[in-house]
Structures are given as structure tokens and as C-alpha cells.
Amino acid sequence: MKVLNRRCQMKWFANVCLGLLVVLFNSTAKAVSYEEAVDRLEKVKDKFILHPKFTTTPSSSMNDEWNDIIFAQCSSLLKELQTYKKYDPLTPGFDKITEKSLSNAQRFSDALAGLRNGTVTGKLLTYSTELFPSTPITPYTAELPGKISNELQLEACAGEFESASLVLWAPEPVSALVIKATQLQGPGGVIPGSDVDIKYVKCWYQQGCGEGPGYLVPELLLNDDTLVKVDYDKRRNHVKLSFPDAGKYVQAYDTTRTNPGYEIESEKFPVQDADSLQPLDLPAGENKQIWITVKVPSAAKAGNYRGQITLSVNGKEIVKPIALTVNVPAFSLASPKTHYDLSQEFFGSLYYWGRLDPSGKGKVGFAMKSEQQFRAELKIMADHGIIAPCMIFPARMVYGNRPLFRKHLAIMREFGMSGKPIGNQLFKILIIEI
């Protein structure tokens, strides 16, 4: 009787997924009518229900928990999906209307597959994804560029940085989620947990060509995910300011300004990320991308270095730890050379607006920096191979204060930025004369 009941639940589960997939097919294959999608998916359903690995999956506490979630959530979700029948998939805004439901549908489908193959180990899905996919990862991206996984594997030479992307999704809210990295042990010692940098990827709205911010972009890497709040309905960003008496959120986009080079004094806009990774409140039904960067020590010996990334709430792990492996090959990267003359050094460069603020205070913006801001930005560039940043304008236009310019150069040299000219003589002349 228990087996029969279990199979009835499985059939019900399959029909739920069928209803979700109908809309999924209808939105992605826009040339296909709703009726055609149903016809195709009826065939999928038959195979789905009879899938031997699925129907013979033994009852377990994990499977039962997910069944309870589906019973609790899918009734309302199916009602939402049914309302989409009246929409023409070619209707402007159809993707926006359906994106949340379709994303949840795909996540439940992924959870089902993960329960079968053992990669789902709790009420939190973990995906190993591409770092720079062609389609950005946003809270409601349905087709994630990766797969459910309990492993992250990297390869980096000694002295190098390498990153990986992890996406989290939960069917129910998760409060105060703590993410930590252990040290990585290898043949030549360890990579300290402090050299495994973890950041939250924050999606916020970027200004489009018209008025107001128009594009949701995964751009910010934050320690405190609450530093920026995003209103998806009004398409607005709000930033947390830290005043001495009390903190508050303000709209980050000033609709009255027309100057793209907008800056504001730090005292009026005291925005500051946390010094270390803070606990995460993960909303139900939203993707959350986590950016993980490992710095391999310069003296690291070749071999595999293994550690873990743990995800816990109130000190209790809620899923199996993510196995993190870094393979360090038996060679170091040579310093880069130009392709036209291998005896000449190649310098990584970019145009850099930053300059020291004569007041010493710095601003929130793209140019005026306090010494602390200036040093922090130069350090990031130097760590990642940008050792010859170019001033966007000649020094005589940027600095009327010659001692301040000398200080600018002295700080650059502290980070190994020698100030050597870039490119051929003609390019150097143009930079000097323009």
C-alpha cells in the first residue's frame, strides 16, 4: 500500500511538472501554439511517469520533504500558469510576466533530477555555473548555465587568482545563511581559508539609453547583500547609507541629473560595504549567485588542494558541504610578452579616471578618490595584472597641484606600477600631446 501510495504521489508530481513545462515550452518556443505544446508534453509525461529510476526511488526523509514543499506550493503556482493561456507569447512583456513562474518550474524540475541522482542534499539547490555566460544570471533566470552540483573545481598556477560561480536557490525563505570556506589542504601545505574570497553577486538596474534605469545587471560583488535593495516592480535601486546616528536607504538613481560624470561628497553619501562576508537572507524562489575567488600562494607546490564551502543556519549545515578542489599545475606562468617581439614586456592597462582628491576626503563616484580609495583600487588592479593604468587625460589637465601628482606616482610605484611608457613612440607622443 505504501509503495502504491508512493507511486500515486510520483504520478501527481509528474503531472505537476507537466503543467509547469507546458508553459515553459510555450514561452521558449514562441512559434509553437499552446495546443501543440500540450500535445508534445503529453508524450513527455508518459515517459516521465514510467521512468524506472524515478518510480523505484525509495521513500526518504529528503524526498518526503520535497514532496511536502511541492504539495504546499504547486497548487498556487499552477493557477498562475493557467492564467498565461490567455496571453499570446508574442505579446510585449510576456517574458517579464512569466519569468518568475517559469524559473520556479525549472528549479522544481532540476530538484527532481537531483533527488534521483543524489546531488540534492537539502532544501537548498546548489549549482555550479559558468562565470561569464552569454545570458546573465538574474534572480529569475530559468535556464541556468550549469548544473546542480556539490563540487567546484578550479585550476590555477602558483601566485594566480581563479574564480568560480555558485548559484543558490531555495523553495522556501532561508534566513541568516552563513557561507564559509575551510582551508584547502594539498601536497605542499595549505591554502588558507582567508585566501578563498566569497562575495555575493548583486543584480541592480543600470541606466539604459532612455530615461531611468532599464537593465537588470549582475554587477556588484558585495560582502553585505543588504547594502543594495532592488525594487523589481519599479525598477529602482536603493543604497544603504551609514550615518553616525542612524542608517537609511536612499534611491541610488537621481532622476534629476543629466551629467553622466556625477559625483557626491562622501559625507553626504556614506556608503560602505562590510569588511567581511555577512549572513545572507535568501528569498524563496530567487537565484542567488555567489562569486568565489581563490588566491594560490606564490610558493604553492603542484598538486590538488582540497577543502570545503559550508552553508549553515544557526550553526547547522543545511546541505552537504561543497567540495572545493584547486589543481595547481607543475609550472608557473611566465611574465607576458608582446606578440610582435618576445623580448619586450607586455603591460596590462586600462584608462583610469581615479585621481587624488586635493581635500583628501574623496567622493562617491568615478574620479575623486581619498588616499584609502585610491590605494584600494590600485591594489585590485595590481593583483590582477593591470600594472600600467593610463590616466584618462594628461597630468597637466588632471593635476594643477604638482606635489599631489608626485604622490599619485609614488603610490603607484608602491604597487609595482613603474610608470613605464606603453606602446610605440607614436602612441607615447599622442598621449603626451593630446
Contact of 166 with 128, CB cutoff 8 Å = yes
Q: Which of 6-20, 204-218, 279-293 has the highest mean pLDDT?
A: 279-293
How confident is the model over 162-184, as a mean pLDDT? 97
For 229-241, how does the pLDDT look when each residue is reduced to its tens digit (9 = 90+)?
999 888 889 999 9
Q: Is 140 helix (H, G, I), strand (E, B) or coil?
A: coil
Task: Please report the pLDDT score of residue 231 as a whole number.
Answer: 92
Percent of the chain, pLDDT > 70? 74
For 81-110, how does the pLDDT look when each residue is reduced to its tens digit (9 = 90+)?
667 767 776 666 666 777 887 788 788 878
- The x, y and z cell numbers of residue 318, run together, are 543545511
pTM, two decimal places: 0.82
Distance in angstroms (rounded) separating the CA atoms of residues 12 and 14: 5
Distance in angstroms (rounded) separating the CA atoms of residues 296 and 14: 46
The answer for residues whose C-beta is within 8 angstroms of residue 392's C-beta and 6 or more apart is 351, 352, 353, 398
Provide DSSP, 374-431.
Answer: HHHHHHHHHHTTB--PEESS-HHHH-S-HHHHHHHHHHHHHTT------S-HHHHHHH
Q: What is the CA radius of gyration of the chain?
A: 26
How far the first Cα of the chain sits from its last, in Å, is 84
For 358-417, how does the pLDDT look when each residue is reduced to its tens digit (9 = 90+)?
999 999 888 999 999 999 999 999 988 888 888 888 777 888 878 999 999 999 999 988
Residue 434 banded pLDDT, cuts 50, 70, 90: very low
Q: Of the candidates 162, 98, 153, 120, which has an alpha carbon nearest to the alpha carbon of residue 385? A: 162
- The x, y and z cell numbers of residue 332, run together, are 608557473
Task: Please report the pLDDT score of residue 221 as a whole number.
Answer: 96
Q: List the domain boundaries for the chain.
A: 2-117, 125-254+262-328, 351-433
User: What class does CATH assign to 125-254+262-328?
Assistant: mainly beta
Distance in angstroms (rounded) separating the CA atoms of residues 66 and 390: 55
Q: What residues pair up with 167 in beta bridges, in sequence order?
A: 127, 289
Residue 27 banded pLDDT, cuts 50, 70, 90: very low
Q: Count of residues for the chain?
A: 434
For 100-149, how does the pLDDT look when each residue is reduced to its tens digit (9 = 90+)?
877 887 888 788 788 878 889 999 999 999 999 998 999 999 889 999 99
Phi-psi region of 147 (alpha: psi -120 to 50; beta: other; left: phi over 0): beta
